Chains A and B, each alone.
Chain A
Amino acid sequence: MLTLEIDGQRVTVEDGATVMDAAHRLGIYIPHFCYHKKLSIAASCRMCLVEVEKAPKPVPACATPATNGMRVWTHSPKAVAAQKGVMEFLLINHPLDCPICDQGGECQLQDLAVGYGQSAHCFSEPKRVVADKDLGPLIATFMTRCIHCTRCVRFLMEVGGYQELGQAFRGEHSEIMPFLEQTVRSEISGNIIDLCPVGALTSKPFLYRARTWELTRRRSVSPHDAWGSNVIVQSRFDQVLRVLPFEEESINECWLSDRDRFAYLGLDSTERLTQPLVKRGSEWVAVEWETALQVAVNRLNDVRAQEEGGRVAVLAHPMATVEELFLARTLAETLEGECDARLRQSSGRADSAREGAAWLNSTISEIAAFDGQWFLGSDLRRHLPLMAVRVRTAARRGAYLVAWSWVADEWRVPGLEWSLWTPATMGAALAKVALVVARRAGDDGALPRWVAEWAADAALSEEGTVALVQRLERCQRRRIWLGEGLLAHPQAAELEFLAGVVATRIGATVGWLVEGANAVGAAAVGANGAQSASELVAEPRAAYVLLHAEPEDFLVPQQAVEAFSRARTVVALSAFASASLRETADVLLPVTPFTETSGSFVNIEGRVQPFTAVVRPRGESRPGWRVLAALTTLLGREARFASTEAVRGAALREGWRERLATKPIARPPVGVPALERVEPAAVFRWYQTDPIVRRSTALAACTEEE
């Protein structure tokens, strides 16, 4: 520990801390541009120059190590002279086009220029002009404004895991640019917009849409993946105009994936449903809510009256809230039907065979602390972009990382041992590893017979297997991750069992990388049955109630379309209506997306995160939980709740956490299923994962670029 004095105040910091860290501890602000707490130190902007006793020159606070007995002045005449000098240099070639700059009002340079700039300057030479760069559909560039802090360069290299920008040329001719003929393809690229302290990098979709001070800000939770990133949703006149990260160190740190950041554009899709619609013949007719609800109830009652049990299925997207899913389950019970929110799982066998629900099985913060991690069947960089960030941190700390994937996209994790498999060959190889560790433990005789049969086909050498196992065993904290691809696999139960065989014998824990903002919540409120949603469309039911789900959300969209077309009735509660939904549904009830309702998600680490509405419901649309409650009540079962809090209280009863799994499947279900439906599961459809994401024009443009 070191004790030093800053501006006359004493502070104690850890060894290795910088003057900047110590100043933060005291709440003293030192102006800076290139410094960022999450990035490496560049010490290049020179804005944080401070005076240190006995130092002949002012030193940069961000890069100067604190020493015992050091005396620092951050606002002495010498320090301020240095800071003002740097500010003058930064401004001479800056265009000062604040009135037409999107960053205006939230610009670090602008803010600091108020404190350290002059009202007039004596630079009478022509200013530098820099050609703009093409950084893809998400990021607009105004490179003349750049002050060369290189935060964007460092972010993409250190957090994004791959260098996509660099500072080319020398001196005054320096330019930040991508490699020749390249652009920025990072799945978390949008963060460089936040990092840019000036208006050089701005959001392309938000460009010239509004000034920052016109926007209303509300906290919310992102519904596009299981991470539960905290966001600030900014809106004007009940229209969402921008989504920014809300700093939550234990979840998303200060980052946001591009999917979370730019999906909001989908909210304004022309396919938004704003009125209840009922199909008359082949025509869609707009009706009052009362009529629509009555039609839906009548149709569902008809089915109930005519068919045997188990003929109605309520299928919900896992982005539905805890409250909606709980009421969906209640509705299914009322209809004596089934309910499920696992749209992209081939079957429910694994979940049924396991004790407890799939989840991360640790906190998010712990991920970087596992020094041995083995990923099975995940496209992590796209599935959980911010988990990939945590894994990169583990990589920097020297963790041993192995990924078996069947998507040909490496994760930009330095040092990751990545290999490509098919859904079939991975099963065989995993069986081989399980067999080897079991044989070593002397209990391979207890394994089911199919394990040895699978292992016989493994494209993995004995030495390779042993090397992998031994390498993992040398680690202190071992973790096997079951990826979203593995969970979608028809043989998910068998694969999980095999992973469990390995895990228990090498002392590793297992975590599940589930799909959907509320996948854990769905399991927690009991919204999943014996069969997964995929199975419920593979074996068509007589009627379906859909919640936030369109055929495109299912594992095999064509199967869903066929099932819905054949069903006697389909009631869809949705914020949007795709062509396929209009084709196959009979009643369309406009329910609000996450921005227009209150609710809660349980994220992958089991954290309940409530949120409130950000804007007013569009048109006639209503919160899904109210519509579900009304339908249930009309169907004859009392379901009246005053608020989402009330629903949540009923949904997540004390002790629900005990239903989260801690161990993988110990005994696989009998009958190994065939592999006929594997291939569609092989591809994680990037930027296609939910109705909002699918409709974001900017994200669609990214997919096209791929």
Chain B
Amino acid sequence: MTTLRLGQMILKDCGEKSWRLADYEARGGYQALRRVLQEQWPPERIVEEVKASALRGRGGAGFPTGLKWSFMPRQFPGEKYVVCNSDEGEPGTFKDRDILRYNPHSVIEGMTLAAYAMGASRGYNYIHGEIYEVYERFEEAIAEARAAGYLGENILGSGFSFELYAHLGYGAYICGEETALLESIEGKKGQPRFKPPFPASYGLYGRPTTINNTETFASIPFLLTMGGEAFHRLGKPNNGGMKIFSVSGHVNRPGNYELPLGTPFAKLLELAGGVRGGRRLKAVIPGGSSTPVLPAAVMMECTLDYDSLAKAGSMLGSGAVIVMDETTCMVRALERLSYFYYEESCGQCTPCREGTGWLYRVVHRIERGEGRSEDLDLLQRVTTQIMGRTICALGEAASLPVQSFINHFRDEFLHHIEKKCCLVPREVQRAGSEIAVEA
């Protein structure tokens, strides 16, 4: 079963065999790096191109990449690092896995270019612990790149050196938080650091560090090949380039679809074969489990880009589109999500450690038919007590689903509380789960 459905840029012409260096070079790989090194681009030029491209962080927060790179103190003496965040743990997201699986060299090239732009000499790719074969493949890709002179000392005879290491995580969701990821690389328990200082001034081993998502790095070679402006025009204003959407849930053809930013959701749904069994769309989580859910009517009007979804009250996040049809019990769906955040809280700061457990238990109670009339207000209050008061964004990640599910599907929650049962009859839910999807 493949999850790669449509590639137009990073995943273009990719398949099971596309990961080798020779294949990547045949697709035009490492041309950007060659050009930059041969033409001896000033590093600032790369940063300017990235700024012009309106490339925004693909990991979830959507922070402008060029701006982030410009924070890096290039002239700071000593070691500086670039770190790739491949700790893809957000439920619903599986795009980085496919990038590393089918086109790892694009990440290597992107990181090398980033290192050149920011004066870094060492890089780490932190790979999620549960995709071991991807980690092994990435190690092989590094070896290929090093053998071909794209990595290591004096790359392509330019005098520029960059060493890249793969680092296998252990599967903790929190290690996807950039400072927790740094702690984890350092060999410590993966717990987020308090910011400021930000990684650009105090990062890995206390050195200036830039962390970007896998897809962000993988976009860089394409961006530099076509030019920042052209990349920007691929998408829409302030939302440059292509984005890989991981579609999961109740669609006929789940998988990764690489589309220009600004593509209407309806188009994506159509590409994904529509809602399975011809059922009605109920709700969509547009950007991974931590982003607020949107009801079908709202979602069908949205285009897939950072600004449109923000306007609709949600986020593009990591581009993990979770589609739910009418057979879905929203209380049960939320219970599952809340359990995830309860289990994945690192336990460092009080609101998240104590609050996520409280949220889960109350939602769980409602789902079991033991909810009380005051519970929805209680959930609302607990989420506001968590949000904005934690060290990292996991507090928000745990709270936003709770708020949005109750906000948009209050009737289902009330039904659970008052009638002690689900608004969607059990048999409908069961029937829904038995529909087969295309492999």
Residues of A within 8 A of B (CB): 41-47, 49, 56-58, 60, 63, 65, 82, 85-86, 88-90, 92-93, 122-123, 125, 147-148, 166-167, 169-174
Contact = CB atoms under 8 A, between A and B. Distances in A.
9 contacts: A43-B349, A44-B350, A46-B350, A57-B388, A82-B389, A85-B389, A148-B350, A148-B353, A170-B345
A326 B220 CA distance: 83
Nearest to A41: B194
A172 B196 contact: no
Contact of B391 (A44, A93, A174): A44
Contact of A171 (B196, B357, B378): B357
B350 A90 contact: yes
A46 B174 CA distance: 19
B192 to A, nearest CB: 10
A286 B284 CA distance: 92
Contacts of A88: 385
Given A90-B354, A171-B342, A85 B385 contact: yes
A649 B362 CA distance: 72
Contacts of B389: 46, 49, 57-58, 82, 85-86
B172 interface: yes
B154 interface: no
B355 interface: yes
A336 B106 CA distance: 94
Contact of A89 (B194, B355, B362, B384): B355
B292 interface: no
Interface in B153-173: 172
Interface residues of B, number: 33
Given A85-B385, A93-B354, A174-B353, 5 more contacts: A44-B350, A93-B357, A167-B189, A171-B352, A174-B347
Contacts of A171: 342-347, 352-353, 356-357
A398 B284 CA distance: 56
Contacts, number: 96
B357 A170 contact: no
B8 interface: no
A166 B191 CA distance: 13
Going nearest first, the 7 A-B pairs with the smallest beta carbon separation are: A174-B347, A85-B385, A171-B345, A57-B388, A89-B354, A43-B194, A172-B357
Given A43-B194, A46-B390, A122-B378, A85 B174 contact: no
B367 to A, nearest CB: 14
Contacts of A147: 350
Nearest to A128: B357
B79 to A, nearest CB: 19
Contacts of B352: 171
A43 B348 CA distance: 9
Contact of A170 (B347, B350, B351): B347
Contacts of A148: 347-348, 350, 353
Interface string B244-260: 00000000000000000
Contacts of A82: 389
A57 B392 CA distance: 12
B361 interface: yes
Interface string B353-393: 11111100110010000000010001000001100111100
Given A63-B194, A85-B389, A172 B345 contact: yes
Give the most central of A43, A44, A57, A90: most B CB within 10 Å.
A44
Contacts of A47: 350
B194 A170 contact: no
B347 A172 contact: yes
Nearest to B190: A170
Contacts of B343: 170-171
B342 A44 contact: no
A169 B347 contact: yes
A44 B348 contact: yes
A46 B342 contact: no
A60 B194 CA distance: 10
